Structure 1
Amino acid sequence: MKKRIFASILLSSIILTTVAAPSIAVADTYDQKISQKDQEISNLVDQQASTQSQIDTLEGQVDTINAKRTKAIAEQNVLAEESKQLKQEIADLEVRIEKRTETMKNQARDVQVNGQDTSFVDAVLNADSLSDAVSRVQAVNTFIKANNSLIEQQKKDKEAVKAKELENSEKIETYQKYQVQLDNQKKDLEVKQAELSVLKTNLAIQQATKEDEKQALVKQKAEAEAEQQRILKEQAAEAAAKQAAEQEVKAAEARQQNAQANANTTTSAANTVVTESSSTTTSSSSASNNASNSTNTSTPSNTNNNNTNTNTNTNTNTNTNTNPVIDTSNTYPVGQCTWFVKNRASWVGNRWGNANQWPSSARANGFRVDNSPEVGSVVVFLNGAQFSNSYYGHVGYVISVANGVITIEEGNYAGLSYNVRQITTEGTVFIHQN
């Protein structure tokens, strides 16, 4: 018997170890994967912070480019205004040159029409007197100087026009260079903005991808744990079935031993009664014979002896009937939880109905029903409480109550004919023998 119990305990330990190991291994595997994803997400966050720093630098460069562009636009406006003024000055010079040219043409035309000679020789020869000659020479000189002045001014104005044209060309060239610079700066700005957009988009995509992968792992972990819980329940049920089978074997052996002991006791008692009856009969016969030989004994004496024998037999039978007799009456369906508890607690009444009807039946029969668990009391699980049947309920037998932990024996639980487990008081009442 001890070897069988030890083997059962060892088997249960092996089963529990086998059940627990895969659960721990799978949980560790998913935890490692989730931890790896957290590390990857953390690295992405660090990269995002570094990239954001680069983005801030690029934005500063963009601001600088915008400032230069603004300045270039302002210089462009100044050049445009100066170019406009230069064009106006050139136009004014051209007008003045045109006027001087027209004046010189008019003077030449006037000399030809009036027949005036503008040379010094002709002026002297044609003079009427010396004073007239001097006057003529002075007039010619004045005319020549005026023409020379006009020619000199014409020359200077033409040089000024050329200088203005050169200056205008140079400023136009400078304006064109500024325009090229503005175009290049604009292209740089567009490139920088495109890089910023790509960086931000890549970071957002990578972070979203890693978050999705993490959520997928979390979901897979939950599904794996749920599956393992199911496997754990199945394996626990198998272990409990094996334990119940062993308990049933033990109970059968105990019942067989009790039946054998009772049979032996009954046989011994019957033998005792027969021996005593034979002894009494022999003594009575001997007494009668002696009485007949020595003294005439009256009938009442014989009757009295018979009464004595009768009383002796009656007392002996009464003592024999006081031996314990097992009550095998159980009106509940064999194999059900109610049948199991009735066999475990013989004081439970028959025909109390389904498990959920036991509290009212027990009260009607004078038993105490409350919410306080005690060793030897019957626990009743109301409909659906702690995995009980939602229609019939369930009952069990309390075998220990220690530090708030209630341990019960029960039958027909999870398909097992015998089961031991720990419960709470949730959804339960307790029936007490007294």
Structure 2
Amino acid sequence: MKKKLLTSFLLSTVVLAQGAGLVSVQADSTDDKIAAQDSKINNLTSQQQAAQAQVDEIQGQVSAIQTEKDKLQAENDKLTEESAKLASEIEELSKNIVARNESLANQARSAQTSGTATSYINTIINSKSVTEAISRVSAMSEIVAANNKMLEQQKTDKEAIAEKQVANNEAINTVIANQQTLADNEKALTTKQAELKAAQLSLAAEKASAEGEKNALLEQKAAAQKAAEEAAAKEAAYKAEEAAKAQAIQASGNTDLAAQVQAVNNGGSQAVAAPSVTVSQPSTYSAPAAPAATSRPVYSSNASSYPVGQCTWGAKTLAPWAGDYWGNGAQWGASAAAAGFRTGSTPQVGAIISWNDGGYGHVAVVTAVQSASSIQVSEANYAGNQSIGNYRGWFNPAAAGQGSFTYIYPN
């Protein structure tokens, strides 16, 4: 009996010992699993936070670019409206100034022919009475006063037109600069939006619990990353192309009218800088004789007041005598007339041709003339070419589809 009890006790001791060992092993295994799971959760949380931070960062960049786009577009809309208003006011002032110039010139010629002092004396002598003499002298005094008032108004209008031209040019230049920034931002926005899509899919994959769903998202993420890389490559190519264009445009500015005319005479098309030569017409066409010189403002000889690559910049480069703040191409005719330059409808080598299409218009410089309906010009910003060159050969300015036109003569 004692032997059985001892055996049972020993067996119980062994079982308990083994059970304790099993409990200890099982506890250790569970703790490890919990720790591993915690580590996995922490890793997933960290990955999700990193992915979310990337999404937030790119989303912020996209929002910033979009905000700048909206701001620039709003500024452009406002400036374009202001420019149109200024252009209308400049044109009206120009008409008044030109009309007064003509009236004052006629009166000056009349005074030179008859002599103002002699006219006063003859008026008094030929009067039948003192009353009539006083009346006539009074009338002449009123004419003189009116002329003085006209001169004062002319001075005021010229000051006003100069101020408006500067303001208009600043508005135009800002709009063009904003348009370039908008074009650059459009490329950057496309790239950032593609990057954002890839980042969002990466975040979704990190959060996915089902294996199948995760694999599908990872495939979409890979495609989105490839699209983002392609967008970035396109943006880089765009920037390189823009830089090359800017360099070519700047290089084309190292030319002058003589070089462009020489290129025409040599049968060239897109002209480059060449030594100075005597400007002559490559035909027997006769240009109108220039009248006596008129007093005009003195302008700078560089084209820095106009945006590089625009038609106005090209015209100013080839015709340094042109004004510094004549606005868009369509406004050059009115601005030149107000400044005292001759304008007309007959082509002449060295003259500026200004087209008015009801919008921005266009300007170029005449380099060759065969007839009124057959000329050659050098210009910038024509058919996508912003460098200065001869892109049309012989053509009819009236059939160019750019609206009505006028020539501005340098003499």
Shorter-chain TM-score bucket reads: 0.3 to 0.5
**Higher helix share goes to which structure?**
1
For normalisation by structure 2, the TM-score amounts to: 0.36
Name the larger-Rg structure.
1
For normalisation by structure 1, the TM-score amounts to: 0.35
